Structure 1
Amino acid sequence: MAFDRPRRILLYWGGEITYEGGTMSYRPMMSKKLFRINQRISFVELVDKIYEFMEVDREQMKLNIVYRHIVSRGVYSDITLTDDDGMEGIFDLFDADPNFCADDQTAELVHPGPYVHDIISPMTPHRARSIFYDLIDDSTLQVKRCDGTFWDHMPIPTRVWHYICLAGFEGVASLGRISVDHALITSLVERWRPETHSFHLPIGEATITLQDVEVLWGLHIDGPPVTGRDTTHSADAWSQLCMELLGFMPARSDIDGGRLKVGCLSAALDRLLPDDVTDDMCRQMARTYLLVLIGGILFSDNSGNKVPLLYLQLLRDLETVGRYSWGSAVLGTLYRSFCNATSPTARTICGPVLLVQLWTWERMPTLRPIRLEPAQEHHGAYGSRWDVGFDLRNAPRHVLSVFRDQLHILRPNEFIWQPFSDELLDMLPHYCTAGRDIWRAVTYLICWEIVECYLPHRIMRQFGLHQPIPDQRLIGNQAALHLTDRRGRANTDWELTHRQ
């Protein structure tokens, strides 16, 4: 009998086994751990592994090991393991069916795919495939953001807040400080496919849409794209521009290429407005807040402590900056960040990943923490309802294996396709629903050099519609678009480039 490939065992403990209706089951709140069997281990070796993973003292706890396997769909039997003969019985089941699985939700829950190669190529390097074949370790991606400065300087002065609202950032600026779970984001990256810009889950494809950006963050999704000429400036020129638009001149050491250290922005926000504050001073402070918000949350890079000055030139006229399609720019940046993070060599992820966490909490109850505060009416963007305390005692957090497990066994009734009811949408501010006419538009998302396809026709269930077999619109040039970046493209007019 040839047991010649790794098998993954899902270990449950700490709950209750039940036998009802002729099948074996268990309480869902049991602790879980995935581990791998690489060879024909003995019963004693298996026991040692289980003690190791449970992190308990074998002198204080005696194990009773029961193996569950599928007899037919929805019907399970059990094998009590006490010696090597029981282990041989399990190996016989493995050998009898190469695709044997202890759960009937799918033939093989952990296989990275793809099974059909008309859209997704098996040759595309992907984090999930490399982990499956032990080519990389199971380390968690580090989420890079530098928005702490923004929340440290709340509340925003009233006259300054007026200009932030005028610029169209009222919704996202009202979110509050929300921590990002790096393990949750990593588990979702492993489910992301760059070819379709969607998560491939046991219940089907799902993704973050323009609806989510607008409802959760209140960002404008219609209007001119966030792009233009990528002008290269000297450090002195950037300093002069900061003096004009932000009201202070940073030291040359605070400017790194076209990026500004967030520390000097924090120092600028520390200064109190004088009693005789002028309108220009309020505008300058508003731009400082916006630059931290844009560079720290919406378009953060891998530095973790610098914000791109590229966006400063767009903030010159606060009366017109709100006309830009900031929401589509954020979504395009998010797609690009997740696509890059699927690389087996990726160690970090940046960009608006908080949006993904809020999206997950809205749609997958098994992955979200329990709110301590009761639901209440919200007057801002809907994502602000998660700026609350959580009961984390029974909630999965910061453990990659737990999130992987929850996604592997995700059932249809554990995914909310439409978390935003019509009644809810009618209660939200106008800026959270102003672009609903284009939520389902198949188009491109642009942010400077970034161009990413937006494919809502692949996830029609998120809009309450029947999902037909989707066509392959906009997919053909995805690989070429992903290769486009700003390196070596100084002074490029990206708007003109995209038109060509």
Structure 2
Amino acid sequence: MPDIAMEHAFLPDSPPVQEEDLTHAFPGGLTDPSILRSFNSHERGPLKCRNHFSKILAWPWWLVDNNTRFKAIIEQSGLSQLARCTYRFVNTVLISSFVERWQPEMNTFHMTVGEMTLTLDDVGTILGLPIIGKSISVPDVTDHHGVTLLVYGFGITERAAHEEVSSAGANSVRLEWLRSQFAGVTDSDPEEAMQCAARAYLLFLLGCTLFSDKSGRRVPVVYLGLLMDLGSIHTYVWGAAALAFL
């Protein structure tokens, strides 16, 4: 399990957890449910969890011999470890149990032993992402602006950009489209093509990990704006952005 910061630790003389504690209301729980309205509304079966392990594994840039320049750009970005933080299998029942105890009003887990929450230090430790640096802010973009980002970021035609945005919907691009268009880059390609492929992969990686959505197949174009200057990607506080997004 990840190292999650706890606000209330176990006490040496704490009584053992009883069976009724696990099946009834938490001891010392809420007396006024009007404050945390979601406290008693988490009754559902196991959740459907999105897992992009197979997608990431389908773009194995780290195993290709003839792409040292591409590898250098990805490693320099500071995001390469996200490709190594995925899991082949996900325990949906365990994750659902944690979600049942999550209070969106407080951003904390309400457990039988007390409250606990994720901190920036946890994110930095678990994901290895920077938590100090330039803040990340992405404004809403129009369809026209999204197409412009694709044209300049990926070096494709305006027509191709329009077609992809229309196909993906929600001013996004498909994860599979990014892989199919840019996965074949090698050291023999021009520098501009190498940089476009690197932006495509990093957008693909963000869509598979930090900023994945319920569709499980696309990523918003707006994040491409953060990847235009490949030399400054590592200076952003990706850890803080991940925590805020979650």
Give the TM-score taking structure 2 as reference length. 0.77
Contact 1:198 1:205 (C-alpha < 8 Å) held by counterparts = yes
Tell me the residue number matched to 1:166: 76
Paired AA for residue 194 in structure 2: C
1:151 to 51, 57, 70: 57
In structure 1, distance between residues paired with 2:17 and 2:53: 43
2:154 to 240, 243, 246: 246
1:139 to 38, 42, 45: 45
Tell me the residue number matched to 1:327: 239
Paired AA for residue 149 in structure 2: L
Counterpart secondary structure, 1:319: helix
In structure 1, distance between residues paired with 2:155 and 2:182: 11
Superposed CA deviations along residues 282-328 of structure 1, whole A, max 9, x for unmatched, are 21111111111111211111111111111001110011122111101
1:178 to 75, 78, 88: 88
1:233 to 143, 149, 155: 143
Distance 1:106 1:203, change over 3 A: farther
Task: Report the Cα offset of residue 177 of structure 1.
Answer: 4.5
Tell me the residue number matched to 2:132: 222
Tell me the residue number matched to 2:104: 194
Task: Report the Cα offset of residue 106 of structure 1.
Answer: 7.7
Size of the aligned set, in residue pairs, is: 223
- 1:305 equivalent in alignment to 2:217: yes
Contact 1:140 1:182 (C-alpha < 8 Å) held by counterparts = yes
Structure with max Cα Rg = 1
In structure 2, distance between residues paired with 1:231 and 1:294: 18
Contact 1:167 1:321 (C-alpha < 8 Å) held by counterparts = yes
Paired AA for residue 267 in structure 1: S
Distance 1:256 1:162, change over 3 A: same
In structure 2, distance between residues paired with 1:246 and 1:149: 20
- 1:261 equivalent in alignment to 2:167: no
Sequence identity (%): 31
Contact 1:106 1:202 (C-alpha < 8 Å) held by counterparts = no
Paired AA for residue 158 in structure 1: T
Paired AA for residue 40 in structure 2: R
1:282 to 187, 194, 202: 194
Contact 2:170 2:220 (C-alpha < 8 Å) held by counterparts = no
Superposed CA deviations along residues 208-229 of structure 1, whole A, max 9, x for unmatched, are 2222211221111112221143
Counterpart secondary structure, 2:110: strand
Counterpart secondary structure, 2:202: helix
Higher relative contact order (CA 8 A, sep 6+): 2
From the two aligned structures, give the one with the greater strand fraction.
Answer: 1
User: Any unmatched runs of 5+ in structure 1?
Assistant: 1-72, 75-102, 335-500
Paired AA for residue 254 in structure 1: S
Give the TM-score taking structure 1 as reference length. 0.41
From the two aligned structures, give the one with the greater helix fraction.
Answer: 2
User: Any unmatched runs of 5+ in structure 2?
Assistant: 1-13
Matches within 5 A, 1:466-477: none
In structure 2, distance between residues paired with 1:185 and 1:195: 19
Counterpart secondary structure, 2:209: helix
Paired AA for residue 226 in structure 2: L
Matches within 5 A, 1:47-126: 105=18, 108-113=21-26, 115=28, 117=30, 121-123=32-34, 124-126=36-38
Contact 1:113 1:122 (C-alpha < 8 Å) held by counterparts = no
Contact 2:51 2:90 (C-alpha < 8 Å) held by counterparts = no
In structure 2, distance between residues paired with 1:114 and 1:230: 44
Task: Report the Cα offset of residue 151 of structure 1.
Answer: 2.0
Paired AA for residue 154 in structure 1: P
Distance 1:160 1:196, change over 3 A: same
